[in-house]
Amino acid sequence: MQTGTTPTGAVPRTRGYYRAEVLIVLGLSLGQSAVYAVVDLLEKATRAPLASQTTTLNPVLDEREVFDLVYQLLGIFFSLVPVALVLFLLAAPGVPAGKPAGRPVFRRLGFDFARPGLDLGLGFGLALAVGAGTLGVYAAGRALGITTAVVPSALDTYWWTVPVLVLSALRHGVVEEVIVVGYLFDRCARFGWSNWTIILASALVRGSYHLYQGIGPGVGNFLMGLLFGYVYTRTRRVMPLVVAHALLDTAGFVGYALFGPAIGLGT
């Protein structure tokens, strides 16, 4: 065995290593989004009242249909690369303490199809609960003037509009839940943090990268993060959270694309 290595030949991982890794991962993904969201919120707040402004979640990326589709698909694909990165890092040599060597990373995170009944049932339940709360927080934020008008989709109507919106919803569910829950819970445990400290930190990150929509969505997503984090500590499964998140975003994106403008949603 070489000096300074583990019996498997992997370089030992200290708390400093994990801190650096987390900062790099967040800097490439949701942490970067959080910084931009805070700056965007400050820019909006100093330009005009938040209540008079609009935030579009799925904008048109090119005026020509074929290139709009290409850009939409490229955006979805490359936003999933940080997910591949964290799965790679979690599966790399140097298995977390207390976990059996060689255990597949998908199983460790509960990001698999091993328990479809639990995942679908719990996912639907969470989606219903969070959906109702989200509408309430959004309405309150609009009434208080601390939330922009959110337009879930501004895509033109093409044959691919609904499929792309569904893919976008799935993308958000996978990226956010795998990184801000599965990955962060694993890595923050290396710092010796308690479950509730990790839940709070994860929820703060989740809330911060939604601040570009206004204060209301930031608070709402923070509360959602507390709930999702608690559920994860009880189940150790990311999949129900992915299901719930994807259902919420699909309902919002597709529902608005089909019916929103006709009934005046987003105003």
Once rounded to an integer, what is the mean pLDDT over residues 8-28? 85
Once rounded to an integer, what is the mean pLDDT over residues 113-124? 97
Query: Percentage of residues in the chain with pLDDT exceeding 90?
Result: 86
pLDDT at 14 over 90: no
pLDDT at 113 over 50: yes
First vs last C-alpha separation in the chain: 66
* Alpha-carbon gap, residue 201 to 185, rounded angstroms: 9
Q: Are 34 and 208 in contact (CB under 8 A)?
A: yes
Please, which pLDDT band fits residue 94 given cuts at 50, 70 and 90?
low
Choose among 98, 243, 259: nearest CA to 176.
243
Query: Percentage of residues in the chain with pLDDT exceeding 70?
Result: 89
pLDDT at 167 over 60: yes
CA count, 13 A, side-chain hemisphere, 193: 19
Q: How far is CA 177 from CA 110, 173, 224, in A?
A: 11, 6, 11
Convert the pLDDT of each residue in 184-217 to its tens digit.
999 999 999 999 999 999 999 999 999 999 999 9
The reported pLDDT for the residue numbered 98 is: 47
Judging by beta carbons within 10 Å of its beta carbon (0-12, 13-18, 19+), is residue 263 exposed, middle or buried?
A: exposed
Work out the angle between the directed axes of helices 161-177 and 65-79 (0-180°, nearest 10): 20
Q: What is the CA radius of gyration of the chain?
A: 20
